[in-house]
Structure 1
């Protein structure tokens, strides 16, 4: 399970270091710490001008309250949350359809 916090790229900067990046899926770039392997960022061409940062990477993750549960249909069958947030079966953001779903590429 991954929790992402979304930013515009100009709203986020690292205070030290630079993540290493890789792409296994065309149009999707993931950033990670080259020393320990920690996931840091996610960028997708279908979500232009958006950058996602894993919540566990942030200094104060408790400051970020969830707004929705995306990819709900892919959750583990025993995973439930006692809240009334929207359960969305795919992306929670509107994507450019020209880039299709990364899982279909």
Structure 2
């Protein structure tokens, strides 16, 4: 846990990855985010705004469950909501591109 508040995304990113040390946590996050993106697209295509709530529940639900059941820590979302959302897309992007291991290596993990 950090002692001082984080004041930049550049400083937040290593902290965020430190809260997602288990590969299963990262994969569950990415799954939930992927499904949430699909639901948002469907909401737009079919004009069903209630699906946006389903997307939020899916995206955050999978992420939070992964922290409780796999990582056994408190989601960074509670302390840094915007940066956590950005971090989730950043992490998922790296996973989708097959570059997550490179990023962990770069940061010394």
Please indicate, yes or no, whether the TM-score normalized by the shorter chain is above 0.5.
no
More helix by share: 2
> Structure 2-normalised TM-score?
0.23
More strand by share: 1
> Structure 1-normalised TM-score?
0.24
